[in-house]
């Protein structure tokens, strides 16, 4: 049965399985969804080619790399023209500590999430990069007291 974006129930089952087990073999995926390894492999390749699987990555514990603080940054731009939004989005992708960027509806334009070593590291990020992003008129920051959980979904 076909659902959203041309995915059938088997495709959806494969995506759900791989979401939590990105390193699973074709045999393991096939076993989980009732396909042979070769049939699972063909489906996975098709899902990759259509963009349903955007990539594979390791979820690294940032604390082991010295990044102990999660920071949420609300960004207000001078205006929401296509040029300003495009310039901001292109520039923010080059900020290494920023792990996600979301265009928002509501009282601010973007929500950024950053991982930094501490308050001094965030101060450098704010001064050297965030405040210099194109179109930015206001930055409002919140610091997470503790990260409770995070998933691989993006």
For 5-62, the pLDDT digits (tens) are 678 999 999 999 998 888 999 999 999 999 999 999 999 999 999 999 998 888 888 8
Task: Pick the closest to residue 114 from 98, 132, 126, 129 (CA basis).
Answer: 98
pLDDT score, position 4? 55
- Report the C-alpha gap between 110 and 24 in whole angstroms: 35
Domain range summary for the chain, segments of one domain joined by + = 4-49, 62-143
62-143 CATH: 3.30.70.920
Asked if pLDDT for residue 80 goes beyond 80, the answer is: yes
The whole-number average pLDDT for the span 136-143 is 97
Asked: is 4-49 a CATH 1.10.10.10 domain? The reply is yes
pLDDT of residue 5: 61
């Amino acid at each position: 049965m076909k659902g959203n974006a041309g995915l059938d129930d088997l495709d959806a089952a494969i995506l759900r399985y791989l979401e939590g087990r990105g390193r699973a073999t074709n045999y393991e995926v096939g076993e989980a969804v009732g396909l042979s390894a070769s049939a699972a492999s063909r489906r996975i390749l098709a899902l990759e080619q259509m963009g349903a699987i955007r990539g594979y990555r390791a979820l690294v514990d940032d604390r082991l790399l010295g990044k102990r603080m999660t920071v949420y940054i609300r960004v207000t731009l001078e205006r929401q023209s296509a040029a300003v939004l495009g310039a901001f989005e292109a520039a923010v992708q080059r900020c290494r500590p920023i792990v996600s960027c979301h265009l928002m509806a509501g009282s601010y334009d973007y929500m950024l999430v950053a991982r930094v070593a501490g308050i001094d590291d965030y101060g450098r990020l704010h001064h050297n990069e965030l405040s210099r992003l194109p179109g930015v008129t206001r930055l409002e920051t919140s610091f997470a007291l503790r990260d409770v959980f995070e998933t691989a979904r993006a």
